Amino acid sequence: MPSGPASATNGAPKPGGKLRQYRIALVVGTRPEAIKLSPIAHALADLGEPPGLFVTGQHPGLELADHRLESFPAVSLGCPGQPDPMLHADLVRAAMLRILATNQPELLIVQGDTSSALGGALAASEFGMALAHVEAGLRTYDPNLPWPEEENRVAIDRMSNLLFAPTSGNAANLRREQLSGRIHVTGNSGIDALAALIGPLPSKPPRRWLPRRQFKLLVTCHRRENWSAGLEGLAEALLELVDHRLSADVILPPNPGVTERMHRLLGGRGGISLIPPLSHAATISAMRAADLVLSDSGGMQEEAPALGVPLLVLRDKTERPEGLTMGSMELVGTDRDRIVEAVGRLRSDRRLLREMARPSMPFGDGRSAPRIAQACLAYVEEMAALRASRRA
Ligand SMILES: CC(=O)NC1[C@@H](OP(=O)(O)OP(=O)(O)OC[C@H]2O[C@@H](n3ccc(=O)[nH]c3=O)[C@H](O)[C@@H]2O)O[C@H](CO)[C@@H](O)[C@@H]1O
């Protein structure tokens, strides 16, 4: 069995986990990866296989304890996010290669489509290590929307031995590409994280939308393709909307450049509050308290249907069409007039708004992490048996 990393461990394995070096490791770089990988780390620990963590540093302020990950042995790679995501992926790859040269787990798990996930996948593949991709098969089929995420997830799926597709639609995408990895339809572990916060899902939306009451928007916008014209269109729309008995809480992203731009566009305007990044629990509370959410976030597209919160997606394409099919969300992009029209239409037609707020679970039942953990463990055991039979 390979030994775990010698450097920078923070905390002992979870009580109940076996006291041994880990065979499975997870790559964690950003807030959404921590949110979605935490249930999987705990599900592995529950099976007696606590994993190790490679923390890339992409989001430098990421606190493992905020995501219940502090009890797992962790190596810090010291690779903060870069303006050029390809450079960042390469830095992560190089840092991982240095560690894997002496300490190799048997299976590396990466999640989603970040440059941390891509860097980890490239390192695993260079070492001939087994690789599992959580959240496989999401596609817009447009390499620019979103960039670089669409390219990252396609590349990671091609390298992976285990492909954990959240939905049957995602699995169908993978089958069409005739990839060599094994496909499992598991649900999205982001829904597990949501259930851990608020209890059984789907949750009942609080009844609201009384006529004449002030209408409250919750807004997030951080995708790279929205950094210039997109943020301007959104800001113009919000400035127009708040003149009409409507308020907007805008949650700022961890990215300082985007935050600075939002302050310039919207700072000091009545009816608009600019809020620093929130904890996951506080974000979910804010979503539930809003009449309507406007966001380009991927995770919030998954959370909104389960919470029964209507969502306008500030993007032209989505890799999560399931939310559109369920009627919980609508694509509006970042054009000023389109946003103003959509908010106005929903605000004046409460029946439409209530229909969008009908809770549904297109992204999983909140029990994907145990499925993923079991499949990972079975794969590791299978590979070990294969190696043993070759030695015999
Ligand atoms: C194109 C796309 O969709 N890309 C993804 C992106 O994240 P994604 O776009 O989802 O990233 P966000 O930064 O929006 O994170 C979303 C998550 O963070 C929470 N939240 C949000 C604001 C806040 O202040 N505090 C907070 O905790 C949300 O409730 C949600 O759970 O990387 C994820 C991790 O690989 C992937 O799963 C997604 O596919």
For 204-258, what is each residue's pLDDT tens digit?
776 666 666 789 999 999 999 899 899 999 999 999 999 888 999 999 998 888 9
Find out whether the beta carbon of 320 lies less than 6 Å from any atom of ligand 1. Answer: no
Task: Please tell me whether residues 243 and 133 are part of one structural domain.
Answer: no
Residue 209 lies in a domain: no
Going from the Cα of 392 to the center of ligand 1, the distance in angstroms, rounded, reads 47
Same domain, 179 and 75: yes
Position 369 scores a pLDDT of 98
116 CB within 6 A, ligand 1: no
CA–centroid distance, 298 to ligand 1, in Å, is 5
Residue 275 CA: which ligand 1 atom is closest?
24
Answer yes or no: is the C-beta of 323 below 6 A from any ligand 1 atom. Answer: no
Do 75 and 138 share a domain, yes or no? yes
Instruction: Report the atom number in ligand 1 closest to the C-alpha of 223.
Output: 9
178 and 141 inside one domain: yes
Atom 37 in ligand 1: which residue has the minimum CA distance? Answer: 112
Q: Report the residue count for the chain.
A: 392
More confident residue, 155 or 21: 155
Residues 180 and 257 in one domain: no
167 in contact with ligand 1, CB cutoff 6 A: no
For residue 293, the number of C-alpha atoms closer than 13 Å in the C-beta half-sphere is 31
CATH code for the domain in which residue 330 is found: 3.40.50.2000
Whether 149 lines ligand 1, by a CB cut-off of 6 Å, is yes
Determine which residue's CA is closest to atom 27 belonging to ligand 1: 280
Eight-state DSSP code of residue 66 = G
Torsion of CA 91, 93, 98, 99, to 10 degrees: 120
Answer whether residue 7 shows pLDDT above 90: no
- Is residue 59 located within the same domain as residue 84? yes
Taking the centre of ligand 1 as the mean of its atom positions, its distance from the CA of residue 55, in whole angstroms, is 17
Which residue do the tokens 């380009």 mark? 296
Number of domains within the chain: 2
The answer to whether residue 13 scores a pLDDT higher than 50 is: no
Q: Mean pLDDT throughout 254-264? A: 92
Co-location of 113 and 144 in the same domain: yes
The DSSP result for 311-380, as a single string, is: EEESSS--S-THHHHTTSEEE-TT-HHHHHHHHHHHHH-HHHHHHHT----TT--S-HHHHHHHHHHHHH
Which tokens in the block code for residue 130?
């087994």
DSSP symbols for 95-116: HHHHHHTT---SEEEEETT-HH
351 and 384 fall within a common domain? no
Assigned domain for 15 exists: no
Residues 302 and 384 grouped into a single domain: no
CA of residue 33 to ligand 1 center, whole Å: 8
Q: Quote the domain boundaries for residue 297.
A: 215-356
Count the helices and strands in the chain (H runs, E runs).
14, 13
Q: Which atom of ligand 1 is nearest to the CA of 287?
A: 29
Cβ of residue 297 lying under 6 Å from some atom of ligand 1: yes
The answer on 119 and 33 residing in a single domain is yes
In the reported structure, the alpha carbon of residue 31 is separated from the centroid of ligand 1 by a whole-number distance in angstroms of: 7
Q: What is the residue-averaged pLDDT of the chain?
A: 92
Distance 222 CA to ligand 1 centre (A): 10
DSSP secondary structure string, 178-231? T-SSEEEE---HHHHHHHHHH-SSSPPPPP---TTSPEEEEEE---GGGTTHHH
Q: Is residue 341 part of a domain?
A: yes
In a domain, 227, yes or no: yes
Residue 12 lies in a domain: no
Instruction: Indicate whether 116 and 149 sit together in one domain.
Output: yes
Tens of pLDDT along 115-174?
Answer: 999 999 999 999 999 999 999 999 999 999 999 999 999 999 999 999 999 999 999 999
Phi and psi at 336, nearest 5°, equal -50, -50
Domain presence at residue 374: yes
The finding on whether 299 has its CB within 6 A of some atom of ligand 1 is: yes
Same domain? For 151 and 250 the reply is no
Distances (CA, A) of 257 to 60, 272, 312: 14, 19, 24
Q: Domain for residue 210, yes or no?
A: no
ipTM: 0.97
Q: How would you list the strands of the sheet with 311-313, edge to edge?
A: 272-275, 246-251, 215-220, 292-295, 311-313, 329-331
Is 241 part of any domain?
yes
User: CA torsion 58→61→64→65, rounded to 10°?
Assistant: -170
Q: Is the CB of 303 under 6 A from ligand 1?
A: yes
